[in-house]
Amino acid sequence: MSNLTLPQRLELYRLLRLNRTVEERLVRLYRQGKIVGGLYRCLGQEAISVGTAYALSKGDVIGPLIRNLGAVLVAGFTPRDVFAQHMGRATSPSGGKDGNLHFGTPETGMVAPSSMLGALVAVMAGIALGARMRRTHAVAMTWIGDGAMSTGAFHEGFNFACVQRLPLVVIAENNGWAYSTPLSKQTAARSLAERASGYGAFVERVDGNDVLAVHEVASRAVARAREGEGPALLEALTYRMKGHAEHDGQAYVPPEELAEWGLRDPIALYTRYLVEQRDATSETLESLDRAVVEQVDAELEAAEAAPMPAPRDALKGVYAGETAEAEPVIIRRLQ
């Protein structure tokens, strides 16, 4: 049974819906050719992003991965930010300098991830170190996949955080696949939790498609971290329902597994729970859905109306207060 109040349980529902609706609009944009680059989806993994990030407080800092759209929205970034990022618009948080979910600063509650997976764990350990040194009581939370847990940066960063007992919570999303590589080719350990058991951290496994269970274990990990009891690694079991990115038809994934996990869709499960618990009627939830769609469509319209960046702005911001030179070579004959 959840410790959340009824309004909080309904807010979780709204956030899950927001996550999925934004993704649905992104898919539409992708098919319309309006997205710059690839589109990385999180269909079926929304409960992990939303449930964990919902356990955080103001002042905490997230370091999301490519499939953590929900966490980004929970942290307070808008669908408009996300759409503008994907379309490379001037109004995007990165000003068109980077795409998808690669944006944010600690002041805004989020560190921009890089594409070198695993690196973020070491950087987020530094965020936690900085938070502690500044006595802010902030917690750093980041996510990692079953693939990126094979990187040195993950192990170095997590080990450092554990030695220093830093307020860092890492959620290991075990969705079975890293691009086309199954878990069995990433590790000989029986689970990601087992793999993480050697660091002296708080380690737990949770059903990643049960948003309340995810939220509960994340809340515990966050509270421990905030109290100075050190890092946590939470393995959330789920399944990647779409390819690595939209271009990938994932023919390598057994269809029976997809079918099986399709019956365990986290939003469908949570909807059923809320109705069965009499938290809400189907009508109430549908009106929440409509409000989400209205909001998302309005923000999408605003994002699409935004201009592309000025080409020469590409030269700005490499160093503090400086603009790079585009054409330093000036052929000049002696007088």
Partner 1 sequence: MTGTTYVEAIRQGLLEEMERDDRVFLLGEDIGVYGGAFKVTDGLLNRFGEERVIDTPLSETAIVGAAVGAAMMGLRPVAEMQFADFISCAFDMITNFAAKARYRSGAGVPLVVRGPAGGGVHGGPFHSQNPEAYFAHTPGLKIVQPATAYDAKGLIKAAIRDEDPVLYFEHKFLYRRVKEELPPGDWIVPIGKATVRRTGRDLSILTYGAMVWTAFEAAKTLESEGIDAEIVDLRTLFPLDEETICSSVAKTNKALVLHEATRTGGIGAEIAAVLAERCFEYLDAPLVRVTAPDTPTPFSPPMEEFFLPNPEKVCRAARALAGY
Question: Annotated catalytic sites, by residue?
Answer: 240, 244, 252
> Burial, 234: exposed, middle or buried (Cβ in 10 Å; 0-12, 13-18, 19+)?
buried
Kindly tell me which of 38 and 130 has the beta carbon lying closer to partner 1.
Answer: 130
Residues 6+ apart with CB under 8 A from 328: none
Q: Tell me how far, at minimum, the Cβ of 133 lies from partner 1, in Å.
A: 6
Q: H or E element: which one contains 122? A: helix 119-133
Window 153-182: residues binding partner 1 (CB under 8 A): 153, 156-157, 159-160, 163-164
List alpha helices for the chain, DSSP H.
6-31, 46-53, 69-74, 79-86, 119-133, 152-163, 192-195, 211-226, 255-262, 266-276, 282-305
Q: Tell me how far, at minimum, the Cβ of 109 lies from partner 1, in Å.
A: 12
What percentage of the chain's residues is helix, strand, coil (to nearest 5)?
45, 10, 45
Q: Tell me how far, at minimum, the Cβ of 13 lies from partner 1, in Å.
A: 31
Kindly tell me which of 161 and 274 has the beta carbon lying closer to partner 1.
Answer: 161
Q: How many CB atoms lie within 10 A of CB 283?
A: 8
Q: How far apart are the first and last CA of the chain?
A: 85
Near partner 1 by CB under 8 A: residue from 18, 47, 69, 140: 140
Q: Tell me how far, at minimum, the Cβ of 328 lies from partner 1, in Å.
A: 8
Interatomic CA distance for residues 315 and 253, integer angstroms: 43
Window 222-251: residues binding partner 1 (CB under 8 A): none
Nearest to 202 by CA among 174, 235, 159, 233: 233
Q: Is 97 among the residues that bind partner 1 (CB under 8 A)? A: yes
Kindly tell me which of 50 and 161 has the beta carbon lying closer to partner 1.
Answer: 161
Site residue total, partner 1 (CB under 8 A): 47
Q: How many CB atoms lie within 10 A of CB 146?
A: 23
Kindly tell me which of 44 and 93 has the beta carbon lying closer to partner 1.
Answer: 93
Q: Tell me how far, at minimum, the Cβ of 144 lies from partner 1, in Å.
A: 13
Kindly tell me which of 8 and 114 has the beta carbon lying closer to partner 1.
Answer: 114
Q: Tell me how far, at minimum, the Cβ of 317 lies from partner 1, in Å.
A: 5
Q: Is 36 among the residues that bind partner 1 (CB under 8 A)? A: no
Binding mask 98-127 for partner 1 (x = CB under 8 A): x---xxxxx----xx-x-x--x-xxxxxxx
**What are the Cα distances from residue 193, in Å, to 51, 235, 303?**
19, 6, 40
Interatomic CA distance for residues 23 and 41, integer angstroms: 7
Tell me the residue ranges of DSSP E strands in 187-229. 202-207
Binding mask 249-268 for partner 1 (x = CB under 8 A): --------------------
Q: Is 128 among the residues that bind partner 1 (CB under 8 A)? A: yes
Give me the count of residues in the chain. Answer: 335
Q: Is 135 among the residues that bind partner 1 (CB under 8 A)? A: no
Q: Which residues bind partner 1 (CB under 8 A)?
A: 93-95, 97-98, 102-106, 111-112, 114, 116, 119, 121-131, 133-134, 140, 152-153, 156-157, 159-160, 163-164, 317-321, 324, 328-329, 333-334
